[in-house]
């Protein structure tokens, strides 16, 4: 059964109601987090040797054996299958034809919508197919607030907006930054904008932000350096495209307000989260170089880049390099005029 957003929390809260959970999508960190949470809910531990079996790609052939094995110490067993693909479809069909209370969790990042495995499980009443995609906007804010609440830490609204704009698209990386903030908050249990800036500092998605700001002001060396740093840190090309898209959207929002008669300073001040004071000069320089039509075109090209990076087998890193080079050259040309 394909699980939509409305039923997602209910399904994740009670994974034991299913025989197979399929976790697929682009966010590998979120896939791993949801898989581990489901394992713990059923077995009480993520690494119980009697109730939890973990199969990687090289041991997929043991799936049926593990799925039908009995727990020596009692309790329901869980089989966690990493890098799942269509090759595990036949043993799963055989498993579903038998009576067993074992829960099978399939971790399948990047599994195509045309996958036979995915189509089969989405049509089966006892199986749940859950898409795990990078969160953004209000959804990301809600997840951040929830993760902080797990540690009884509160966060001011301005700090939350700023943090949302800084975190990358991968759930594991976001979770790591949240853990750091919780340690920083300590016994106070609250975080202000200054607290978050002091803790995150130049970590998180700073390489992406550096690249986006440098590119839109025509600084080729700084843009290329920041982009290569982001790629070296294993930042996904999709995250790179989304970071640039967010920056361009903010520039375009200010330009649109200016076209409606609002002063540039007032339009910039109205942005939420606000432009970080160290970035103000770069942001204003970009506003001088980019017209509203040019920003609209750049946004469309960035959306096309994200779509291209999602295609199986695409040279996504090369596409990002070419995109940043083109964007920077366009800004530099405007600066010379």
Q: Kindly state the average pLDDT of the residues 242-251.
A: 90
- Calpha distance 141→160 (Å, rounded): 7
Residue 43 burial (10 A CB sphere; 0-12, 13-18, 19+): buried
pLDDT of the residue at 201: 57
Three-class DSSP category at 310: coil
- Calpha distance 265→263 (Å, rounded): 6
Q: Kindly state the average pLDDT of the residues 266-284.
A: 83
Per residue in 198-215, pLDDT tens? 777 544 456 778 889 999
Mean pLDDT, the chain, rounded, equals: 88
Per residue in 123-175, pLDDT tens? 999 999 999 887 776 778 888 888 898 888 999 988 888 787 777 656 777 78
Alpha helices in the chain (DSSP H): 5-13, 28-43, 63-67, 89-96, 116-123, 137-149, 157-166, 171-185, 193-200, 206-216, 220-232, 237-259, 264-269, 280-289, 292-309, 316-336
Q: Kindly state the average pLDDT of the residues 235-253.
A: 88
Residue 305 burial (10 A CB sphere; 0-12, 13-18, 19+): buried
pTM exceeds 0.75 for this model: no
Do residues 166 and 201 lie in contact, with contact meaning Cβ atoms separated by under 8 Å?
A: no
Place of tokens 């980019």: 290
Q: Is the N-terminal amide bond of 253 cis, ω within 30° of 0? A: no
């Amino acid at each position: 059964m394909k699980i939509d957003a409305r039923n997602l929390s209910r399904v994740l809260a009670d994974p034991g109601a299913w025989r197979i959970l399929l976790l697929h999508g682009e966010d590998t960190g979120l896939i791993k987090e949801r898989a581990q949470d489901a394992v713990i809910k059923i077995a009480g531990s993520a690494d119980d040797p009697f109730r939890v079996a973990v199969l990687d790609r090289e041991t997929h052939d043991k799936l049926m054996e593990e799925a039908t094995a009995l727990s020596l110490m009692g309790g329901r067993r869980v089989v966690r299958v990493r890098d799942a693909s269509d090759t595990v479809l036949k043993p799963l069909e055989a498993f579903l034809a038998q009576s067993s209370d074992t829960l099978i969790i399939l971790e399948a990042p990047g599994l195509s919508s045309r996958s036979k495995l995915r189509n089969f499980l989405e049509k089966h009443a006892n199986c749940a197919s859950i898409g795990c995609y990078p969160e953004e906007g209000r959804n990301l804010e809600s997840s951040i607030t929830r993760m902080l609440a797990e540690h009884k830490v509160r966060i001011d609204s301005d700090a939350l907006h700023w943090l949302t704009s800084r975190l990358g698209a991968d759930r594991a990386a976001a979770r790591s930054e949240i853990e750091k903030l919780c340690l920083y908050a300590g016994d106070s249990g609250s975080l202000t904008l200054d607290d978050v800036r002091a803790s995150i500092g130049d970590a998180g998605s700073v390489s992406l932000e550096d690249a986006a700001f440098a590119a839109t002001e025509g600084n080729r060396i700084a843009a290329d350096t920041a982009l290569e740093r982001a790629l070296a840190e294993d930042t996904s090309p999709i995250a790179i495209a989304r970071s640039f898209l967010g920056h361009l959207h903010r520039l375009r929002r200010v330009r649109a307000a200016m076209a409606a008669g609002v002063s540039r300073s007032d339009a910039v001040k109205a942005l939420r989260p606000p432009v970080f004071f160290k970035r103000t000069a770069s942001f204003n320089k970009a506003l001088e170089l980019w017209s509203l039509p040019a920003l609209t075109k750049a946004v469309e090209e960035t959306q096309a880049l994200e779509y291209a990076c999602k295609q199986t087998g695409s040279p996504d890193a090369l596409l990002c390099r070419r995109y940043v080079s083109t964007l920077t050259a366009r800004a530099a040309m405007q600066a010379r005029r």
